[in-house]
Amino acid sequence: MTETFRRVLEDAISRLQSQVTTYLPPLLAAAIMLLGAWLLASALRWIVYRIFKGLTIDKFLRQSGLALMIDRSGRLRATRIVAESSYWGILLGGALMGLSVFNTDLTMQVAQGFVYLLPKLLASGAILLAGAWLSQFLGRSMLVWSVNEGLPHPRRLAALVRTVILFVAVVVVADQMNFARTVFLTAFVILFGGAVLCAVLAIALGAAGSVRRYLEEKREARESGERSLWSHL
Amino acid sequence: MASLVLPEEARRAAEVIKQADIVIGIPSYNNERTIAHVVRAAYAGLAKYFPQLTAVVVNSDGGSTDATREAVISARVEDSHLLLLDTPLGGAHRLSFPYHGVPGKGSAFRLVFQLASTLGAKACAVVDSDLRSITPEWIDLLVRPVLFAGYDFVAPYYQRHKYDGTITNSIVYPLTRSLYGLSVRQPIGGEFGISARLVSRYLERDVWDTDVARYGIDIWMTTVAIAEGFRVCQSFLGAKLHDAKDPSSDLSAMLHQVVGSVFTLMQEYEPVWWEREGARPVEVFGFRFDVGLDPINVDVARMARAFERGCEELGEVWALALTPDTLARLRALGRGCRLGQPLHVDNELWTRVVYEFACAYRRQPISRGHLMRSLTPLYLARVASFVIETQQMGPAEVETEIENLCLAFEQQKPYLRTQWNGKSGGAPPVRPEREVVTP
């Protein structure tokens, strides 16, 4: 009985020792890598906050309306974006390196999957950013133009333009990421077709009066002498 | 410095003519109805007032598709120098129609100036090709101060209907005057007399491929002359009547082009205007007389509606350009408008709006196109307010009102300086507007 208990205990200790000797060094290595990555990320973030002014990018963010879209206070700064991106990027890199130390099938799959996805993620991010910028720019163009032209519901028109462009960006991203490709594409085709149909019906039936009034006003303004005031410098 | 390489066509013509004392430039684009009259007036003016001098009339055409060229040839006087040149226009020039309707007016002027420089002209004058009221005296009035009184730049001085030239009266004239300290009444008139010295200066500047040359050549020429200390005078030309403009011309695009050019020049000449205070009068040549003017109908209600809509919809854009105080005052006006109260945009508020837009144009919180186009409802509100207030006034009283606006611009200049540097607080107390006596 005592012998059995001793053997079981020795086996357990041996297994634990084996596991410790197998996993502790990589665990320590992973922890050190993660710590190193964290230190590097923090240092880089600190440096970026203090050195990188990002004036041009800040200006671009302001002008494009992206700053306002991402942060309603409009105080978003490129410095913060770059610093935080660097921080999280390095931290993620450190975590992946730490995982690869274990050299198991699972960790290798995770690391490889991430490396495979990274370019697509970056491309998708760029597409989304470009889409967001374009939607803001064209939405604002639509807003100002429709107010100056006296079109009904300028803000709704601007929101529509923004939504459509963002939706197109999302469809492209879904295609890029190979994620529910057909669902997004089909939804887009259905929505776009539906929107065109609605617009045609609205003009033909429901909004015929509004359109007629609008066109009448434009014609009257053109025919009256009032236009002469507008064309004299 | 801009190259002084003339197009082959112009170079050959210059070799034949060799020398000229006066060059008259007429840029054109589809002006078959009026250009013959303008060319005849130019010839008659040269023959009547400067018979002893050699002169060249240059028509620089921006690619007319009508019979403009034939009209110019038909108006030619025997034994005179007439050059018909095509302004080389790039694709962008053709696509971007400026407010005056002459694509590439800047390119046309550049060609005229290059030719004047090559021929050693002592004076150069440019006149629009859509004029109906030009007379031979205009040539004399634009050229004589340059040739015989030592002036470098002759700006036009027209008699206009009180509701004509509203962009000039409400923005360009008061702003140019308060910035650069000279009372040039028609800074974007379109007809100018220029000395050889100033022609050289214009050609030195490397702006001919920029938007300033494309859209704001008139205000650019005036601003360079004023800001760089050239001798400036004005000539009274009587009434300015011109061919009907394109009815589809877009007011917001016009504001963008004209006022945007003034704002762009503000940045370039910041050291000049920063120091200048007040404004001094500019000598006016020519006999002043009253003329009958075409009536102008104005739909004030339509303008007020445009402003109301702007208040309802464009708040988010205006908030990026205007201070909270100015925006609040405009919104209050919009609310009053909806309640049926008469629209009144006072001089002080309007001055602030213009100055704050100028500062925003510099800061670029949003794209400049959006910014300038969003000014349209505010401009219409100001015009409507002006029309309401001056309905019963005669020309002299209206001119006094415009003078009061100019004084408001001058008094608020410290506010512009504060805003220009991005300091929102510290606006100077507003002094009551000075009453002025019509000159």
Give pTM, 2 decimals: 0.79
pLDDT of residue A26: 83
Best of B132, B163, B293, B367 to mutate (most A CBs within 10 Å, chain A):
B367
How would residue B430 be classed by pLDDT, with cut points 50, 70 and 90? very low
Cα–Cα dist B119/B201, whole Å:
16
Specify whether B255 is located in the same domain as B307: no
Q: Closest chain B residue to A144 measured between Cα atoms?
A: B374
Residue B144 has pLDDT above 90, yes or no: yes
Residue B251: its chain A contacts at CB < 8 A?
A: 148, 230
Specify whether B117 is located in the same domain as B168: yes
User: Is residue A63 in a domain?
Assistant: yes
Specify whether B268 is located in the same domain as B132: yes
Residue A233 has pLDDT above 70, yes or no: no
Split into its structural domains, chain A has a count of 1
User: Is B383–A229 a contact, with Cβ atoms under 8 angstroms apart?
Assistant: yes
Specify whether B111 is located in the same domain as B219: yes
Q: What is the pLDDT of residues B380-406, one digit of tens each?
A: 999 999 999 998 998 899 999 999 999
Residue B160: its chain A contacts at CB < 8 A?
A: 232
User: Is residue A38 in a domain?
Assistant: yes
pLDDT of residue B435: 38
Interface of B with A (CB under 8 A): 99, 160, 163-168, 172, 188, 244-249, 251-252, 254, 258, 294-299, 302, 305-306, 309-310, 313-314, 317, 364-367, 369-370, 373-374, 376-377, 383
User: Is residue A77 in a domain?
Assistant: yes
User: Is residue B430 in a domain?
Assistant: no
Cα–Cα dist B335/B304, whole Å:
11
Split into its structural domains, chain B has a count of 2
User: Is residue A199 in a domain?
Assistant: no
Residue B212 has pLDDT above 50, yes or no: yes
Could you tell me which residues come within 8 angstroms of residue B286 by beta carbon, excluding any fewer than 6 positions away? Answer: B137, B141, B157, B235, B236, B237
Specify whether B147 is located in the same domain as B258: yes
Q: What is the pLDDT of residues A102-151, one digit of tens each?
A: 777 888 888 888 888 888 888 998 899 899 889 989 999 999 999 998 88
User: Is residue B128 in a domain?
Assistant: yes
Domain of B315 in residue numbering reads as: 300-420
Q: Closest chain A residue to B168 measured between Cα atoms?
A: A233
Residue B15 has pLDDT above 60, yes or no: yes
Q: Between B156 and A52, where is the model more confident?
A: B156
User: Is A226–B99 a contact, with Cβ atoms under 8 angstroms apart?
Assistant: no
Residue B433 has pLDDT above 70, yes or no: no
User: Quick check: B434 and B377 in contact, CB under 8 A?
Assistant: no
Residue B6 has pLDDT above 90, yes or no: no
Of A64, A140, A221, Cβ closest to residue B317: A140
User: Is residue A79 in a domain?
Assistant: yes
Cα–Cα dist A133/A57, whole Å:
13
Q: What is the pLDDT of residues A198-208, one digit of tens each?
A: 778 777 776 66
Residue B76 exposure: Cα atoms within 13 Å on the Cβ side? 17
Specify whether B261 is located in the same domain as B339: no
Residue B134 has pLDDT above 50, yes or no: yes
Domain of A29 in residue numbering reads as: 18-103
pLDDT of residue B437: 36
Residue A148: its chain B contacts at CB < 8 A?
A: 251-252, 306, 373, 376-377
Residue A78 has pLDDT above 70, yes or no: no
Specify whether B191 is located in the same domain as B47: yes
Specify whether B122 is located in the same domain as B204: yes
Residue A227 has pLDDT above 50, yes or no: no
Specify whether B12 is located in the same domain as B135: yes
Q: What is the pLDDT of residues B190-208, one digit of tens each?
A: 899 999 999 999 999 988 8
Of A65, A225, A232, Cβ closest to residue B366: A65
Q: Between B331 and A55, where is the model more confident?
A: B331
Q: What is the pLDDT of residues B22-79, one digit of tens each?
A: 999 998 888 888 889 999 999 899 989 998 999 999 888 877 788 888 888 887 766 6
How would residue B230 be classed by pLDDT, with cut points 50, 70 and 90? very high
